[in-house]
Chain A
Amino acid sequence: MFKELYKYRELLKTSVKKEIRGKYKGSFLGVLWSFVNPLLMTLVYAIVFPFLLKSTEPHYVTFIIIGVLPWTWFTNTIALGTTSILGNAGIIKKVYFPREILPISVVTSGMINFLISCLIILIFLFCSGIGLSFYILWLPVIVLAQYLFSLGVVLITSAIDIYIRDLEYIINFFVTMLFYATPILYSPTMFAGTKIASIINLNPLGLIINSYRDIFFYQQMPNLGSLGFLIVGCIAFCTLAYLLFKKLAKGFAEEV
């Protein structure tokens, strides 16, 4: 697998570039939209949720934005990734290349966007007076976990979407549900000791977002045990997803 991907690394590079540049082509603010969007979302939550929740965390805006930015990476990746094969039907039918390049480049361009948007987190951390700590050095590990998890999901959904077109809409529903099941707007400590807490703990994305909070917001060691467990699990998940993708990929040109 890696040998062929290495051979086609130039294609991977150009399609990542195309992904980043092409998405907002023709719009006035261009690439800036990938940062303005989550900021506007944060603004809405920051206005609405203090009314709904009895008590919110101190520095609530900073608290939310650390959750919203990784979440934006995740949803964008799922939405774009699921249709990545179908949207490139023209090339799929005419040229051979390793098809997994398409979902991989969606996840990768999303990651680059996220890493840049981490600057926004830093600005908020400084402005709210929380500051920085050395725990931020764990960032690559958390990003890796999210990368692997998203890649696994997208490899499966993009392949199945070719055969069952409904998947795009089904996925939309699940993503919306997942948004509320993930501690983005609230802190999981709210449910400490209840059943809901254990459900949240089973959500890989919840674990990932909590880890981001640990290193940025609470400035403490992320739960390395769970994180390590998650990464091993995601590697296994990715491998299975890849095998499924490869099996289904043989029929792409005929089905799209």
Chain B
Amino acid sequence: MNEVAIEVKNVTKSFKLYYDKPSTLKERLVFWNKKKADNHIVLKDISLTINKGETVALIGVNGSGKSTLLKLMTKIIYPTQGKIVTHGKLTSLLELGAGFHPDFTGRENIYFNAAIFGLTKEEIDARLDKIIEFSELGEFIDSPVRTYSSGMYMRLAFSVAINVDAEILLIDEILAVGDQHFQDKCFQKLEELKKDGTTIVIVSHSLDAIKKLCKRAIWLHEGKVKMDGSDEEVINEYIKVCG
């Protein structure tokens, strides 16, 4: 199975950094000549191919562009230059519980959250029991989300996201969810998804977790791919240089 899941072609991404961003018309007119904007290049001409069924980790120090690359893949932001093509249904877990409405119950939020991921009502109905069971929330599922503890909140959010049956799953630094028991369960679920042929891209600083899950690692450094290879090699080199 060597079909391409994600193709990143010569992507450059730069952000304009304003010291004082004009957001109102007055500021724009009054300070029109104060162009205090720096162009900050986060990714420099990156090209990558990720095949279907691969589990890939993105590693690198803070500010190396890992999260930016992930956001580009989900189409939340768009590249300044270059192109990103993805094949297959894509779900991203950039932040858990985005879009939860605090006054709605857990059950209602499952519907709303899963709808954001592009599921239809029938599809959500079919997964509802699985999601509730996975979250281990029990009877709390019918209480408003604002009454939840942060752990419960995370568990519910993760359960929704992991059960949407994506073909490509992008995960940003959220493997540390809940207690040890729930974390183990999440890993188990990720292993299962891997076996089913889901393409997974993980951004993480937890090297042990990466070693367990991934076969391939990509090391980003200052917006460029510094190394791309098997997880052992890349992580060993990474620890040597940055550790």
Q: In B62-120, which residues have CB < 8 Å from any A CB?
A: 71, 74-78, 90, 92, 94-95, 98-99, 101, 103, 111-112, 114-120
How does the 8 Å CB contact mask read for A8-24 relative to B, with 1 for contact and 0 for none?
11110110001000100
Min Cβ gap B79→A in Å is 10
Q: How far apart sit A152 and B109, CA to CA, in the bound complex (Å)?
A: 30
A10-B120 in contact (CB<8A) = yes
Specify which of A22, A93, A251 lies most central, judged by the most chain B CB atoms within 10 Å of its CB.
A93
Min Cβ gap B113→A in Å is 9
Question: How many residues on A have C-beta within 8 angstroms of the other chain's C-beta atoms?
Answer: 25
A14-B111 in contact (CB<8A) = yes
A91-B99 in contact (CB<8A) = yes
Question: Chain A residues in contact with chain B, CB under 8 A?
Answer: 7-11, 13-14, 18, 22, 25, 90-97, 164-166, 250-251, 253-254
B92-A25 in contact (CB<8A) = no
Known A25-B103, A95-B94, A95-B98: A166·B25 in contact at CB below 8 Å: yes
Min Cβ gap B211→A in Å is 28
Known A14-B112, A166-B24: A95·B99 in contact at CB below 8 Å: yes
B116-A95 in contact (CB<8A) = yes
Specify which of A95, A166, A254 lies most central, judged by the most chain B CB atoms within 10 Å of its CB.
A95
Residues of B within 8 A of A253 (CB): 71, 76-77
Min Cβ gap B72→A in Å is 11
Partner of B76, one of A10, A25, A94, A165: A94
A18-B98 in contact (CB<8A) = no
Residues of A within 8 A of B116 (CB): 11, 91, 95, 97
Residues of A within 8 A of B24 (CB): 164-166
Contacts A18-B112, A90-B98 supplied; 18 other A-B pairs, CB < 8 Å: A8-B118, A9-B120, A10-B115, A10-B119, A10-B120, A10-B121, A11-B116, A11-B118, A13-B121, A93-B76, A94-B95, A95-B76, A95-B116, A95-B117, A96-B92, A97-B116, A250-B78, A254-B77
Q: How far apart sit A10 and B112, CA to CA, in the bound complex (Å)?
A: 8
A-B contact pairs, 29 of them (CB 8 A): A8-B115, A10-B111, A10-B119, A10-B120, A10-B121, A11-B118, A13-B115, A13-B121, A25-B103, A90-B98, A90-B99, A91-B98, A91-B116, A93-B76, A94-B76, A94-B98, A94-B99, A95-B92, A95-B99, A96-B75, A96-B90, A97-B116, A97-B118, A164-B23, A164-B25, A164-B28, A165-B24, A253-B76, A254-B77
Q: How far apart sit A92 and B95, CA to CA, in the bound complex (Å)?
A: 12
Q: How far apart sit A10 and B164, CA to CA, in the bound complex (Å)?
A: 14
A254-B124 in contact (CB<8A) = no
Min Cβ gap A82→B in Å is 15
Residues of A within 8 A of B15 (CB): 254
Specify which of A14, A164, A165, A254 lies most central, judged by the most chain B CB atoms within 10 Å of its CB.
A14
B124-A10 in contact (CB<8A) = yes
Q: In B108-149, which residues have CB < 8 Å from any A CB?
A: 111-112, 114-121, 124
Nearest A-chain residue to B113, judged by Cβ:
A95
Instruction: Return the 9 tightest CB-CB contacts between A and B, nearest first.
Output: A94-B98, A11-B115, A166-B25, A91-B99, A10-B115, A250-B78, A253-B76, A96-B75, A94-B95
